[in-house]
Amino acid sequence: MPSFFSNKKLIILLTSLIVLIALISYSLKQGTRANWAEQFVQDVVGGFQYVINVPARYAAGFFQNVNDIENAYKENKRLKENLENYASVEQENRTLSAQNKTLRAQLGLKNDPKLSDFRKYSAMMIGRTVDQFNQLLTIDKGRVNGIKDGMPVITSGKRLIGSITKASNFTSKVSLISDDQNINQISAVIQPKKGDPIPGMIEGYDQNKDLLYFRKIPIKAKVQKGQVVTTSGLSGKYPEGLVIGTVIKVTTDQYGLTKAAQVKPAANLNDLSYVLVLERKASVASDEGE
């Protein structure tokens, strides 16, 4: 009996070794090929990964799109700010260029031989009211600067804009030639190419048409469209040769005794910044002698 059991154990051991060797041989023959259990597990895991991964990818893409939109909004806002800054700088450059041009023109007027008998004060417009826009403006020079009532005021190109009507210590009021209350009656003249000068008076202003009225022109005078109207210098208030405007239309008064002309102002009275105030030097010397 003991011998039988001993042989039985040996037989079982040998059988186990044979089975193990057979399994190893089979496994080696299959190579990397998975069995059905492994395939099942792999498919289950793969499906689970798909279920998790697809929503995760969509969520990641959504948040990425949101981030891109936010970045695009910030970039667009920054570009708009830069564009606004550029427009502001460009406008500032245009303003400075215009001011520089005006000041250069005024500098040329200070050396004009026709104005050599006048002292010139450069001033800047600092105020203008809506209800008196065509009548008055305020400049930043006053009595302490030598400004007095009655002094003529011009802009570049010797273009007349008005006269000082009220000088205070540090500022002054300028009555414009467009004052429709006729307080700025100006002795004017047209210098034709041939013949004597044609005299007249600047009286009145049409606010709707932006036109001055050149009246009391001799009936026989040959006044034509395009002729330039200047100050005559006869009144003593304004020097001779200041440009008032250009004739655009000529008519005859209702009685047929004189002619009248509509005159476009030479100065842009709606866009004034820097001006020159004129003072006759002879009167300054006289005042100093007193």
The pLDDT tens digits of the residues spanning 90-146 come to 656 565 555 555 555 555 555 666 667 788 898 999 999 888 888 899 999 999 999
* Distance in angstroms (rounded) separating the CA atoms of residues 175 and 152: 10
CA–CA distance, 163 with 94 (Å, rounded to integer): 29
Q: What is the CA radius of gyration of the chain?
A: 49
CA distance 130 to 54: 70
> 230-266, pLDDT tens digit by residue?
999 887 788 899 999 999 999 998 788 899 999 999 9
CATH number of 118-281: 2.40.10.350
Give 152 or 114, the one with higher predicted confidence: 152
* pLDDT single digits (tens) 181-209: 655 689 999 988 888 899 999 988 988 89
Closest CA to 157 of 221, 70, 230, 90: 230
Q: Where along the chain do its domains lie?
A: 37-111, 118-281
